[in-house]
Structure 1
């Protein structure tokens, strides 16, 4: 059901603040305060209309997003009735869909026959097409989703994605079974996340509400004060109630909602100019508190494209000479060349090869070409509807005319591998080619085919920062394609022959190193979370200076319980080595040294794999916070582990940012306080922020704007609080004599000053350099509360003194009555007034009278106070540029101050009549100006040199023993006092025990543990580490 404009309008107007605002404006209009009320009504109407329009547009887009898949015509296979066409909204789980070609998916379905290529950009922001394969046939009785683990997504077609290519298996059309429809689909989850986003647990918004409640409380105090004063003077109940309610409405400014969002609006506008787009504006303020940023590696810190460096083939269980691509020679034919040409997920779409950049670069390196299968290949006995690859003009000689890729087992970040089944033209049997992470792939190969020096050879390249991919092969004795189609992945990926390594260079982006340096100088932690090799990640971290020179790296390797040996965690120190003059790279080596005393604290970094993280999470949970405190490198991490890691950082009270570019990062991007997706799309539901510029320079931009917006919000809130208090004090003093400020006096304060100030105060740009500390994250902080309290005291002192002192002037008279001829009779504003001094007992007070020496004295004081408060609360450096760079705001302040001083000293009768002033002596006006400027100087000096003095507050906290309540601060203090931390060159076991060897009470035979321990101690540290790895 679509929501109508009237319903949106009704819901918006019922907002509690707008209800209070309507009450306030009604009261003001009844008292003749027309101009300002009309101005606020116009602004409120504009605000409501724009909000309703925006909400309506979003509702329509969301409705269209939901309804699009309901209008799709689909073909369904019905038992005993054959194929039928029907509307997609009639689909139910269990229906069998026929996918004829390019179409939009109206439901979640699992592919059971054939394969297809889809784009999932709407759900994940990933622009690379994804290949979907049919659910394998298996005799396993476990549920298919549990059996497939995270790899299940490779078989599922998600609602809202686009099918761009289908490939029948030869056994009929491409078929899929409906799993979910409507809001139960992945698209439904997306819609729900838009309708009901995760609530922001940000103290600013909670504190803002408390502040409004505090202002309302002050208004209630004023309300009862007014009741008492007017009842004491015997004013009628109706007038008493009216005047009391007027004082109640003074303390909560009507411009509050608009003012609090201006900082975010300006920041969002500036971010958009930098091509950073936002779908959750409220998170901009939260970006100002970020103190830890996680980065993906490939495509984020390093270039998207990989450069081919060379191949290392194997023969007779030994590595051969490197085939370098730098030589310009074609890759020689061999099993490794065939694997590189066929083992990928590339597709041919409209004559263009598309797919993962790594696969594209690898395929280009073979100089082979790709074609669709046609009649010529079918005559050679090759099956149709499959991709054909064959040697290109620049390829090396090959005895193979063509290879058909028959079946794919797509790459999965959780499995760290992919494989294909292929057939060589003219042959009647099939081949399996597999590629993936070297450590993972070696487990699926026959041990006799893996070179003995495999770990050393792998380290030789990974420690130089190369991306290393391993390949394997085996032949299948099956001769029928139908048999291949029914093979389970476990049977295909077993007993393979190791073929060799592909070495690829993954260069750092030129922006990565300076950005990381800028973040480090700003005391913002940086962490790498990648699916790549651990050693490669360490090298990239060192080369990018994410790990500064001179810092120690400790490898944390954890293992699951095995037989009678409990779960263990090994700590190994990495030593630095130099490769030599020809390559300025950093190498790492496992050593037996320990962390020196001077390197304790933040000068050591933990590095671990996703496997180790999972073991520690399950078996060493008490260790996890200690490790995370200095954990910098997390490699071979699955998407689920990335999200879990972000959540664990948040539990330590870090404000976490996440920057990534791939679909594997979606969960982490959503989990982080500020997720930044590097994507060509302007907005992606995968993350709150999207940068069209694909490098990490967007991160400091976002943090700077977040800090500026946060400081602006605080400044505006302090200003509006003081504005309400200033008016409350001034009005309360006048109420003592049953008087009021004039309409135009209020109008100038409310519109010409406060409204304009609030709309421009937040437009000051962010300071270009990140400060090494964050702005305050909560309104209810001692500096802010003390600032409001002291400014309130100064205001009270100045206004009360002026209120009392004016009564002692020789020319003072209590003006309770006046006539229109009063000002006319005072030619040249002579002080020889003919007014009666109404100080006698039989004088009758007129409630709500305006013309008085008190109001003439207090108005300039309160007005200048409002102007100077805006200046004081608009602090620039270190989070914003200086106030003079905000030209409009500065001009408005100078103009308002000039206008106020002009009115104060002018001797124009029309101005005095319009502003409802009484002429006073020039010396008295000078006294008013001096009092206002004195208050400004005292308030400015205290605000700037005491309340904003960070070193002073740190000293006070230290002297009085105040410490941060953040969990990570607590752990930092605890570990700083622990002389045994960090551990190095030892192995700990789960459970309790002594000497670093712990017994898990869950094991029934702990007596077996000492034997296992002795076996482990029989190995060298390095042998044990690499054996377990």
Structure 2
């Protein structure tokens, strides 16, 4: 993929040079293979830089190649020494400036790399050269690499790009893994250890001194040091010392917190660490030695021997033999043990993402292993260290990707505005002092002092207060967050997506009944298994087609399997090695009828017990939506297979004659009532089919020509909190959607039941015409009314009403994305149910919603939703763990009420962050006005006055503002998203103007007093103990308290102000103390605070001080009016929209919902950019959606009067 925006300035490609153009095309073709592996390489002609996109970890960054220049480095060092090291500090802040000391070159020649991440941050990485003494494909000889974020990137001489070490190794097929059961030779092992390094997640706990240096080497702390030095020079000693002490205290507090987090992460890693593992080593005589080594010495390619039980996996490995029961709760949040089986024999390339059932992941607990005949359970190491899945979890915590919150971007814009104000103030200050003939030294000091006032040093810490308190409250509720900036995003959620099973409904599936199929006909539903023959294939299938195991004498496995097996009232046993001979090489699991069930009465069978051994398991596959087992009845040498899964999938696997004619209608009848339907089938395997063939045969050979046995009817009861939470979200105007792997009619029924679809609303199912017989044919879109059975009725869909919803399945989604991509936006905004979606399709769907400007949340159990949970703006995994790789949020609350809490806390955190930021901005400008006015009067505030304002008032109040909790009700109104929006800044400017006006007014009022004597103009040094300073100090103190109270407004996003006890106590105490200072302070306090002391006999001055209280009272009424009467009113927003000529929303989904013609956005542009005629004409589908259609003819039928328009549209699109 070529990127013209990043090409170097002097590297312009002449469009008339065809040779260079061909080179570019060839480079683009060459990079396609790397793009398919998760990388996008972006290179100039000279190969000076590239973009790496590691899809698995969602890391995207650019790298640029450089070589050292001795002459430039010498000049840089000399220049830095002359400026006492200042350039070193500047380069530390802005690493990109160091490019001046290097020379840009191609990546294949580079000795140092400049890395630019997606957040625009730069860092330098040294390229290391290393020689391999022994041949080890694909690396041999000398290779070059660098480390970035605990990942090793190696130069690929074949593709001429840097790639991760794991992706450089050729992918093997399943058969290549299975056919090689030899361990590594000593030489090869040593070579790989040299290349891959130790198998460790090395989370270094830095020393306090190192953390301190990293903490203080930042622009913020340098600004603090600069300010302290300035104040010390200006003899503001008390204030400077206090600020310095508080800065150190803040630094140490931050350092302790950072180290605490590192220790906690280190403990998390160590708690799931394996110290010793057994591996196979190939000797020179080609023998296999089984030895024990430290798990840290494992390398990819090692062959490990798994013990019988209780192993914490130290790496990612593919299972070659046997089976394992694994607990993956640390990674996925799913606490139900999972059965892992050996890799299946075929020529397909092994893929860890699609073959998770055959992969053991690092950090998971192998609870139990089984193998036939007592042989070893073997697994081949494929990833180690930070390349493992557990390593990805740790890296996601250490290096959190930028969230994209506009709040932080807006805050920097606002700081720039403050700096502009500071610049103006500095100019005015210089003018005053120059005009007075002040010394150059005084001019510089007074001018620089202005910038320390306008940009408050506490601003960065204050911005994080709201998020910090919300995170703490969420943790108390049992909701854990590894990415705190996402809490603010929770307050802006506009779309809530949910998985069904385990999220909206309970995990457990309760058996309702079974519907056997006999001779191609369904029998009546049976709710008691005793009504069936104990030897019937249906009962045998229910008893064997599962992946259950017994651990500590308790059944473990999928809840569906447990309920199905318990319904049969059979027993499960896992025999020892002495019982193996009854089943050839043996099945690890045996099932038999329970004691309360009568055994078969045939006397010839009494010699052998009625038991069935499970020879082979093909675990559930999201691709085929089914699982299969190969079994053998102890009394019969012939093997048989049972398959259960989605009825739609199993229908195609069965012999047509065995499938009832009313299969689809019966399935629709059950699913429309909300039941989950599982189909069951079986087949007898050939007589010569034995254990060996069972272990090596392909799945596709077994899952065909089955005899249909019938349906298992199960139901998922809704969780208690589901319906109320959905109702709450709808009342807050938050769209909800269900993304499930279940049947579409079952999903529709659950949507009605939980309130996601109102009872009066209609659901229309979107599907596509079946074109399997002619793949090149463009399928037609089918829209059916859910539950419609008439073949003649037409259904009118009025898009002007909002009383309908669309539903579609994963198969339709794939076809829409391929044939009609332009229609997808128009369909998505009206679709509520997404059924039969596979994990990768869920991720695609979330990203499609995000492209429509939705702020998307996704709630799931973490098992099959990892991709969607991580892709969403707010992903919540329902889990008991505090952190998982599945999502940035994990909730021990096992229902969707956690999302309501998150939205409430998110809105609270966002509003609190806005309030504190506005308060800090107003506080700095209030002090700025006070200082400028006093400078003009040849005065200034005293040290303890600054201390009282900066260290007491404006420190205590922002901290206590953050203690205000979220509202108990999720309202319709959403908080403002932009800090710099006109609606937000206009009231803020009014508040600032009022503050400035009051300060000017109080000075004018002071000038009107007959006893007042201003500071003499001839005074050189500013006078502190004067009436100007006293009046402005006291009035400004009230301004800080008033505005803090105003910005502590509660509803609708926070609790009422009266509930914030600590803020009220603080504000009341400060008000009382400040009032005392105004009315009549004691002489000692007046001297300490540099306030003019008034004797009791000075009546006129006492009266003046009493009347000063009128100014804060007036300010209270005006400030409250601005915040409640102007800021929160709809008319203000409408006025701004009119002034800005804003008629349409910027959000794409809002435009689509308002568009009565239901057309996709930017039609002309889409048609122009489209590469296929089919895509261009897809606009016709959107046009049809506004008209009548027949749900049963399965074709969109426009009105006759519209045919000409349709034809013209198609012709026009083709012409474009």
TM, length-normalised to structure 1: 0.88
Give unmatched runs, 5+ long, in structure 2: 1-201, 602-608, 1095-1099, 1162-1171, 1183-1188, 1198-1216
The aligned counterpart of 2:38 is none
Instruction: Give the secondary-structure state (helix, strand or coil) at the position aligned to 1:265.
Output: helix
Structure 1 segment 383-398 matched on structure 2, within 5 A: 383-384=585-586, 386-395=588-597, 397-398=599-600
Instruction: Give the secondary-structure state (helix, strand or coil) at the position aligned to 1:763.
Output: coil
Instruction: Give the secondary-structure state (helix, strand or coil) at the position aligned to 1:324.
Output: coil
2:425 to 201, 222, 229: 222
Please state how far the C-alpha of 1:435 moved relative to its aligned partner.
0.3
Please state how far the C-alpha of 1:316 moved relative to its aligned partner.
0.8
Structure 1 segment 320-719 matched on structure 2, within 5 A: 320-325=523-528, 333-374=535-576, 377-378=579-580, 380-381=582-583, 383-384=585-586, 386-395=588-597, 397-398=599-600, 401-477=610-686, 478-558=688-768, 562=772, 563=774, 566-575=777-786, 592-597=793-798, 600-719=800-919
Structure 1 segment 837-852 matched on structure 2, within 5 A: 838=1016, 844-852=1018-1026
**Alignment partners' CA distance in 2, 1:556 and 1:281:** 39
1:123 to 325, 331, 334: 331
Greater Cα offset, 625-634 or 857-866: 857-866
The aligned counterpart of 1:112 is 320
Whether 2:1117 is the aligned partner of 1:937: answer yes
Please state how far the C-alpha of 1:396 moved relative to its aligned partner.
5.2
Instruction: Give the secondary-structure state (helix, strand or coil) at the position aligned to 1:670.
Output: helix
**Alignment partners' CA distance in 2, 1:492 and 1:210:** 64
Instruction: Give the secondary-structure state (helix, strand or coil) at the position aligned to 1:401.
Output: coil
Structure 1 segment 844-923 matched on structure 2, within 5 A: 844-906=1018-1080, 908-918=1082-1092, 919=1094, 921-923=1101-1103
Please state how far the C-alpha of 1:977 moved relative to its aligned partner.
6.6
Please state how far the C-alpha of 1:1023 moved relative to its aligned partner.
11
> Does the 8 Å contact 2:357/2:619 carry over to 1?
yes
> Does the 8 Å contact 1:558/1:612 carry over to 2?
yes
Greater Cα offset, 21-30 or 739-748: 21-30
Q: Report Cα offsets for 1:135-174 as digits up to 9, x if no partner.
A: 2222x3x4233xxx95411122222222221112338311
**Alignment partners' CA distance in 2, 1:238 and 1:328:** 101
Q: Report Cα offsets for 1:802-845 as digits up to 9, x if no partner.
A: 32442343212124xxxxxxxxxxxxxxxxxxxxxx4xxxx631
Instruction: Give the secondary-structure state (helix, strand or coil) at the position aligned to 1:83.
Output: strand
Please state how far the C-alpha of 1:619 moved relative to its aligned partner.
2.0
**Alignment partners' CA distance in 2, 1:15 and 1:979:** 47
Aligned pair in 2 of structure 1 residues 909, 48: CA closer, same or farther (>3 Å)? closer
Larger relative contact order (CA 8 Å, sep ≥ 6): 1
Aligned pair in 2 of structure 1 residues 442, 13: CA closer, same or farther (>3 Å)? same
Instruction: Give the secondary-structure state (helix, strand or coil) at the position aligned to 1:921.
Output: helix
The aligned counterpart of 1:1021 is 1193
Please state how far the C-alpha of 1:470 moved relative to its aligned partner.
0.4
Structure 1 segment 83-98 matched on structure 2, within 5 A: 83-85=289-291, 86-98=293-305
Q: Report Cα offsets for 1:750-772 as digits up to 9, x if no partner.
A: 22311110110121121111111
Please state how far the C-alpha of 1:53 moved relative to its aligned partner.
2.7
Aligned pair in 2 of structure 1 residues 39, 464: CA closer, same or farther (>3 Å)? farther
**Alignment partners' CA distance in 2, 1:70 and 1:336:** 44
Greater Cα offset, 701-710 or 891-900: 891-900
Aligned pair in 2 of structure 1 residues 990, 345: CA closer, same or farther (>3 Å)? farther
> Does the 8 Å contact 1:649/1:656 carry over to 2?
yes
Greater Cα offset, 621-630 or 961-970: 961-970
**Alignment partners' CA distance in 2, 1:479 and 1:457:** 35
**Alignment partners' CA distance in 1, 2:723 and 2:982:** 38
Please state how far the C-alpha of 1:128 moved relative to its aligned partner.
1.5
Structure 1 segment 22-421 matched on structure 2, within 5 A: 22-63=225-266, 71-78=275-282, 80-85=286-291, 86-102=293-309, 103-138=311-346, 140=347, 142-145=348-351, 151-170=354-373, 172-325=375-528, 333-374=535-576, 377-378=579-580, 380-381=582-583, 383-384=585-586, 386-395=588-597, 397-398=599-600, 401-421=610-630
Please state how far the C-alpha of 1:69 moved relative to its aligned partner.
5.2
Greater Cα offset, 523-532 or 610-619: 610-619
Please state how far the C-alpha of 1:710 moved relative to its aligned partner.
0.6
Please state how far the C-alpha of 1:108 moved relative to its aligned partner.
2.0
> Does the 8 Å contact 1:569/1:989 carry over to 2?
no
Greater Cα offset, 533-542 or 110-119: 110-119
The aligned counterpart of 1:829 is none
Instruction: Give the secondary-structure state (helix, strand or coil) at the position aligned to 1:179.
Output: strand
The aligned counterpart of 1:984 is none
Aligned residues: CA RMSD: 2.8
Please state how far the C-alpha of 1:42 moved relative to its aligned partner.
3.9
Please state how far the C-alpha of 1:801 moved relative to its aligned partner.
2.8
Instruction: Give the secondary-structure state (helix, strand or coil) at the position aligned to 1:517.
Output: helix
> Does the 8 Å contact 1:957/1:963 carry over to 2?
no
Q: Report Cα offsets for 1:730-781 as digits up to 9, x if no partner.
A: 1001111331112222222222311110110121121111111210111011
> Does the 8 Å contact 1:573/1:591 carry over to 2?
no
Instruction: Give the secondary-structure state (helix, strand or coil) at the position aligned to 1:710.
Output: helix
**Alignment partners' CA distance in 2, 1:808 and 1:1019:** 85
Instruction: Give the secondary-structure state (helix, strand or coil) at the position aligned to 1:653.
Output: coil
**Alignment partners' CA distance in 2, 1:573 and 1:625:** 20
Q: Report Cα offsets for 1:846-874 as digits up to 9, x if no partner.
A: 32320222112211221111111111112
Please state how far the C-alpha of 1:951 moved relative to its aligned partner.
4.7
**Alignment partners' CA distance in 1, 2:294 and 2:976:** 55
Q: Report Cα offsets for 1:381-439 as digits up to 9, x if no partner.
A: 45436111111123354477111111111112332100011111122121100000000
Please state how far the C-alpha of 1:328 moved relative to its aligned partner.
8.3
**Alignment partners' CA distance in 2, 1:365 and 1:82:** 47
Instruction: Give the secondary-structure state (helix, strand or coil) at the position aligned to 1:499.
Output: strand
Instruction: Give the secondary-structure state (helix, strand or coil) at the position aligned to 1:301.
Output: coil
Greater Cα offset, 957-966 or 870-879: 957-966
Greater Cα offset, 861-870 or 966-975: 966-975
**Alignment partners' CA distance in 1, 2:913 and 2:579:** 69
**Alignment partners' CA distance in 2, 1:673 and 1:914:** 53
Whether 2:1130 is the aligned partner of 1:950: answer yes
Please state how far the C-alpha of 1:929 moved relative to its aligned partner.
2.1
**Alignment partners' CA distance in 1, 2:792 and 2:407:** 48
TM, length-normalised to structure 2: 0.75
Aligned pair in 2 of structure 1 residues 272, 992: CA closer, same or farther (>3 Å)? closer
Aligned pair in 2 of structure 1 residues 76, 977: CA closer, same or farther (>3 Å)? closer
1:813 to 1013, 1023, 1035: 1013
Q: Report Cα offsets for 1:880-928 as digits up to 9, x if no partner.
A: 1221111111121122122212211116333332222234623322442
**Alignment partners' CA distance in 2, 1:310 and 1:489:** 29
